[in-house]
A and B are shown apart, each in its own frame.
Chain A
Amino acid sequence: MTEAVRLDSITKRFPGVVANDDVTLSVERGTVHALLGENGAGKTTLMNVLYGLYEPTEGAVYVDGDGLATDADGGIAAAPRRFDSPRDAIDAGVGMIHQHFMLVDPMTVAENITLGNEPRKWGGLAVDRDAAREAVVDLSRRYGFDVDPDARIADVGVGVQQRVEILKALYRGAEVLVLDEPTAVLTPQEVEDLFEVLAELTDAGKTIVFITHKLGEALSAADEVTVLRDGRNVGTVETAGTSREELAELMVGREVVLDTETPPATPGDPALTVDGVTARDDRDVVAVDDVSFAVREGEVFGIAGVDGNGQSELVEAITGLHDPDAGRIELAGTDVTDASRRERARAGMAYVPEDRQERGLVMSFDLTENGVLGSQHDAPFSRGGRLDWDRVDEHARGVIDEYDVRPPDPGADARSLSGGNQQKFIVGREFARDPVCMVASHPTRGVDIGSTEFIHDRLVGLRDEGHAVLLVSSKLDEVRSLSDRLAVMYRGRVVAVVDPEAVTEEQLGLLMAGETPADLPRAGRVVGGDGGTPDADARRTTAVDDVDAEATDD
């Protein structure tokens, strides 16, 4: 056995935080090694140390793509590496594929791959574009990739962008590839393809470290798994000899019930009706295409899909942040299509936004001030345009108490809170509106497990009190376990509304990739306004047919 990477007792401290605490990690050459842990467990920090973006506070980094030479005691014969910048790491054969792709959108594939290492001609007066293109074609042929060197990054899909990232690393001579959450933005099918690519690369002698918080992926793609929790290495296991349960327990530090049981819903009248809504994104491309559904009182209606299939635009159209091109939105029977955001909130629409730090909270306001965001013009907080800060403060304290926000200090700036506590505060504030309909968009993204459970309980509780809940999430487990009916969005369309209890993960995966699986357990579709279910049923069929047609066109 030869190691390609050894991180020896790495500690990385930031002001006030220890991100990595004495972590040792050893990766064998020619294998896939998964680094598993929850958000904030220190995975990315550790890999940034390996990639030279961070200098470790303590500890040593050893890397050699051809295998590290060891002495008799198992110690490393070579001197530890000192990476002052990514450049040094690149020179040592380490390539990193970041979670957010490090690509320049307006440039072509070849330009991106060669950035920083451009082949030149005429004494450096020009980039040799033919040589660059050739190098890219050569590389992709060698590893069986299929990319067009002249396509602009902005015009290709995420799967291709990821391949470009990998090619970029290979172009720089990477022997050790680090992938940070590579599956977050991929469909199940694309994930399969990626794993095949990884196998191909290890066959060619490359070493791969891949960061994930998804148990299943770690198990299926890796040879070995190292679990990080609170910045520490809590165990390295071979995938051949472990189970989901064991890994989950290592990750969380206690036994975990992987599925939450929810009592069945007793739905009532439609509270939120979306009828034929079409909307464009910032680039003026149709992102939501003729979407119709209704959310009834006392039910959780889930929307699943790979990120970027129109969910964000749909939510913004519903909540009044984005004008739809066409369609109609009703809240409790009232047409709110042309109502402003404030009018919708007043009419009983609560909204937990996707991005809490951009939208949900004003980061430099304290919690008192944030507690009134969205109701600053409403009684009892505002009287004659004058804000009653005592009332506002009291309100914020109430939310903090009830939702266990820490620290329990209404004077603390929002930015000083952890992600989970920020989210609990937002959820509490929105629940306090006593809404007709709650629109929750990715309510537990980047939130620790404890807060996630808490937020889930609250959502189900709200439903049981007879409120309507629209839940949008890209976490399949979450939408499946919480929803009473589940819609899947693909390329701006709702391709199916299914029964989350009966549908299988494979079927959902196919739907999310735009295909229609057989024997789909469809859920009864409710469309407000035009009344009849049979009619609605007919409409659903056409919608699915349309998608198929589109898929064959491509």
Chain B
Amino acid sequence: MTDGDRGDGIDADGPDDGDGADDAVAAADGGRPPLLLSVAIGFLLVLLAGRMTTCASAAYSLLGVGFCYDPFVVYESLFLGAFGDVASDPLNGQLATTLSETTVLVFTGVAVAVAFKAGVFNIGGQGQLVFGALASALAVVAVADPVSGVAGTLVLVPLALAVGALVGGIYGAIPGALKAYADANEVITTIMLNFVATSVALYLAGGPFKDPDSFANQTRALPEYALFPKALFPGRADASLPALALAVLVAVAVAYLLRRTAFGYDVRTSGLQPEAAEYGGVDAARTVVASMALSGALAGLGGAVYVLTIAGNFQTGVPDYGFDGITVSILAGNNPVGAVAAALLFGVLKSGSIVVDVGTDVPPQLVGVLRGLIVLFVAMPEFFRMIGRRVDVRDRFGGSRDAVATDGGEEA
């Protein structure tokens, strides 16, 4: 049976309009309903947690029941806190944190998206990022001395980025090759390789390459001139506008690659319909390895940027950027350009969770729960379609599936 009347209003020449996305993930009807539902459940969770703990006086009461946590305060801290006091200081520290987190998340989000487009689920972004970060830090430490100043920046930053991308790419290519040539499920291998990366990085940063002057497991601090220039932001802020610009540029470049090149065509075809790709002369194995290598390189690049903007050296306990990248990509329907917006949202959540931690008693792990809920709800577009259909029946308007889905999107 025909699937209905599609084809209206789809801009075939757009950089990538999500038409190539994986069915289940596409959810091109937007990430908004899942997001709002997740926020709503988070709301209940905060209330529930507020009943489980004890406090002197209720922070919030609803229908005569007192709760120790006020969900409105939590969400206000989470979403608005991330922007700091923008009115009086547009370059405030909290906004800087938000933007620096966003920058790294763009890389990991696009990394996951590229692999997804090729039909490979790269959960190993975290490990690739960790190795990319470690390698770039070590490379800079190794060659930092002879150069300095602006010349140092011009040499060391590209070097760090290149090394991070290379090492991340190799570490991404391994599960790619295992999938392509040995049929080893990439979901499992990438998760295992994350554990391996964490342990190996712990060994290297805590052993051979440990900063002798520190108790923590970390490499020596990189010289100031080897870090990303901050542009407008003050020196102690983590945010770097050039790095953010690079992230956006990379996202656009990846979109171009996927949409406008023969290689991108191969990748999208094998992701959507491997049998058709094979028929179309695509070497499936090579495409899997290439896209995993590219995905790993992007994650590794994210690791290098993390070192050059936020960390200033490599230290163990790298935040979960790789896992957040999965959420970013899924929320963006695996559209690289959309990943920039989704990354900003997660930058806000991450930065906001710090504000929540400082300003309220609610554990910041709430953000972790929200992350999982968003992935879960994006995975079930049918749910929102059903809600939409119910709305549709009431209105007796529209009729095409797409319109219904959009209605659902606006409605919720």
A321 touches B261 (CB 8 A): no
A360 touches B279 (CB 8 A): yes
B7 touches A366 (CB 8 A): yes
Q: How close is A242's CB to chain B, nearest CB, in angstroms? A: 31
Q: Which of B265-273, B294-302, B364-372 contacts A (4 or more CB under 8 A)?
A: B265-273
Q: Is B1 part of the binding interface, using a Cβ–Cβ cutoff of 8 Å?
A: yes
A360 touches B281 (CB 8 A): no
Q: Is B3 part of the binding interface, using a Cβ–Cβ cutoff of 8 Å?
A: yes
A321: nearest chain-B partner, CB-CB: B278
> A345, A389, A417: which contacts B13 (Cβ < 8 A)?
A389
Query: Of residues B2, B10, B280, B283, which shows the largest number of chain A Cβ atoms within 10 Å of its Cβ?
Result: B280
B266 touches A376 (CB 8 A): yes
Q: Is A416 part of the binding interface, using a Cβ–Cβ cutoff of 8 Å?
A: yes
Q: Which of A138-146, A379-387, A452-460 contacts B (4 or more CB under 8 A)?
A: A379-387
Q: Is A358 part of the binding interface, using a Cβ–Cβ cutoff of 8 Å?
A: yes
Contacts of A376 in B (CB 8 A): 262, 265-266, 280-281
List A403-418 residues whose CB lies under 8 Å from chain B.
Answer: 409, 411-413, 415-418
Q: How many residues of B contact A (CB 8 A)?
A: 33
B269 touches A362 (CB 8 A): yes
Q: How close is A369's CB to chain B, nearest CB, in angstroms? A: 8
Q: How close is A490's CB to chain B, nearest CB, in angstroms? A: 27
Q: How many residues of A contact B (CB 8 A)?
A: 42
Q: A351-B279, A362-B272 are in contact. Are A389 and B4 (CB under 8 A)?
A: no
Q: A17-B1, A387-B265 are in contact. Are A358 and B276 (CB under 8 A)?
A: yes
Q: Is B236 part of the binding interface, using a Cβ–Cβ cutoff of 8 Å?
A: no
Q: How far is the CA of A118 from the CA of B282 in the complex (A)?
A: 48
Q: Is B20 part of the binding interface, using a Cβ–Cβ cutoff of 8 Å?
A: yes
List A1-17 residues whose CB lies under 8 Å from chain B.
Answer: 14-17
> A360, A364, A417: which contacts B20 (Cβ < 8 A)?
A364
Q: How close is B335's CB to chain A, nearest CB, in angstroms? A: 14
Q: How far is the CA of A167 from the CA of B262 in the complex (A)?
A: 53
> B4, B260, B278, B280: which contacts A386 (Cβ < 8 A)?
B260
Q: How far is the CA of A369 from the CA of B266 in the complex (A)?
A: 11
Q: How close is B49's CB to chain A, nearest CB, in angstroms? A: 42
Q: How far is the CA of A353 from the CA of B281 in the complex (A)?
A: 13
Q: Is B85 part of the binding interface, using a Cβ–Cβ cutoff of 8 Å?
A: no
List B1-47 residues whose CB lies under 8 Å from chain A.
Answer: 1-7, 10, 12-13, 19-20, 23
A16 touches B266 (CB 8 A): no
Q: How far is the CA of A375 from the CA of B265 in the complex (A)?
A: 11
List A348-386 residues whose CB lies under 8 Å from chain B.
Answer: 351, 353, 355, 358-366, 368-369, 372-374, 376-377, 382, 385-386
Contacts of B361 in A (CB 8 A): none
Q: Is A522 part of the binding interface, using a Cβ–Cβ cutoff of 8 Å?
A: no
Q: How close is B273's CB to chain A, nearest CB, in angstroms? A: 5
Q: How close is B363's CB to chain A, nearest CB, in angstroms? A: 42
B2 touches A373 (CB 8 A): no
> B7, B20, B283: which contacts A409 (Cβ < 8 A)?
B7
Contacts of B277 in A (CB 8 A): 362
B10 touches A366 (CB 8 A): yes
B280 touches A365 (CB 8 A): no
A372: nearest chain-B partner, CB-CB: B265
List B280-334 residues whose CB lies under 8 Å from chain A.
Answer: 280-283
Contact with B along A284-314 (1 / 0, CB 8 A): 0000000000000000000000000000000
> A15, A341, A368: which contacts B4 (Cβ < 8 A)?
A15
A362 touches B276 (CB 8 A): yes
Q: A412-B7, A416-B7 are in contact. Are A14 and B1 (CB under 8 A)?
A: yes
Q: Is B382 part of the binding interface, using a Cβ–Cβ cutoff of 8 Å?
A: no
A385 touches B273 (CB 8 A): no
Q: How far is the CA of A362 from the CA of B2 in the complex (A)?
A: 15
Q: Is B209 part of the binding interface, using a Cβ–Cβ cutoff of 8 Å?
A: no
List A389-436 residues whose CB lies under 8 Å from chain B.
Answer: 389, 393, 409, 411-413, 415-418
A321 touches B279 (CB 8 A): yes
Q: How far is the CA of A365 from the CA of B10 in the complex (A)?
A: 11
List B233-265 residues whose CB lies under 8 Å from chain A.
Answer: 260-265
Contacts of A417 in B (CB 8 A): 2
A389: nearest chain-B partner, CB-CB: B13
Contacts of A415 in B (CB 8 A): 2-3, 6
Contacts of B7 in A (CB 8 A): 366, 409, 411-413, 416
Contact with B along A327-361 (1 / 0, CB 8 A): 00000000000001110010000010101001111
Contacts of A342 in B (CB 8 A): 281-283
A426: nearest chain-B partner, CB-CB: B279
> A363, A364, A411, A416: which contacts B12 (Cβ < 8 A)?
A411
Q: Is B224 part of the binding interface, using a Cβ–Cβ cutoff of 8 Å?
A: no
A373 touches B278 (CB 8 A): no
Contact with B along A2-39 (1 / 0, CB 8 A): 00000000000011110000000000000000000000
Q: How far is the CA of A342 from the CA of B23 in the complex (A)?
A: 27
Contacts of B265 in A (CB 8 A): 369, 372, 376, 387
Q: Is B410 part of the binding interface, using a Cβ–Cβ cutoff of 8 Å?
A: no
List A200-214 residues whose CB lies under 8 Å from chain B.
Answer: none
Q: Is B76 part of the binding interface, using a Cβ–Cβ cutoff of 8 Å?
A: no
B273 touches A363 (CB 8 A): yes
Contacts of A409 in B (CB 8 A): 7
Q: How far is the CA of A15 from the CA of B4 in the complex (A)?
A: 8
B5 touches A362 (CB 8 A): no
Contacts of B279 in A (CB 8 A): 321, 341, 351, 353, 359-360, 373-374
Q: How close is A276's CB to chain B, nearest CB, in angstroms? A: 25
Contacts of A359 in B (CB 8 A): 275-276, 278-279
Contacts of A353 in B (CB 8 A): 279
A377: nearest chain-B partner, CB-CB: B262
Q: How close is B259's CB to chain A, nearest CB, in angstroms? A: 8
Q: A321-B279, A365-B272 are in contact. Are A416 and B262 (CB under 8 A)?
A: no
A342: nearest chain-B partner, CB-CB: B281
Q: How close is B391's CB to chain A, nearest CB, in angstroms? A: 17
Q: A373-B269, A385-B263 are in contact. Are A418 and B2 (CB under 8 A)?
A: yes
Q: How far is the CA of A345 from the CA of B283 in the complex (A)?
A: 14
B262 touches A385 (CB 8 A): yes
- Provide a sorted-by-A list of 21 A–B residue pairs whose CB atoms are within 8 angstroms: A14-B1, A16-B4, A321-B279, A341-B281, A342-B281, A342-B282, A358-B276, A359-B278, A362-B272, A363-B273, A364-B20, A373-B280, A374-B279, A376-B281, A386-B262, A389-B260, A413-B6, A413-B7, A415-B2, A415-B3, A417-B2
Known: A366-B19, A385-B262. 9 other contacts (CB 8 A): A321-B278, A341-B278, A359-B278, A362-B269, A365-B19, A366-B10, A376-B280, A376-B281, A386-B261
* Chain A residues at the B interface, C-beta cutoff of 8 Å: 14-17, 321, 340-342, 345, 351, 353, 355, 358-366, 368-369, 372-374, 376-377, 382, 385-387, 389, 393, 409, 411-413, 415-418
Top 6 A-B pairs, shortest CB-CB distance: A342-B281, A359-B279, A373-B280, A412-B7, A382-B262, A374-B280
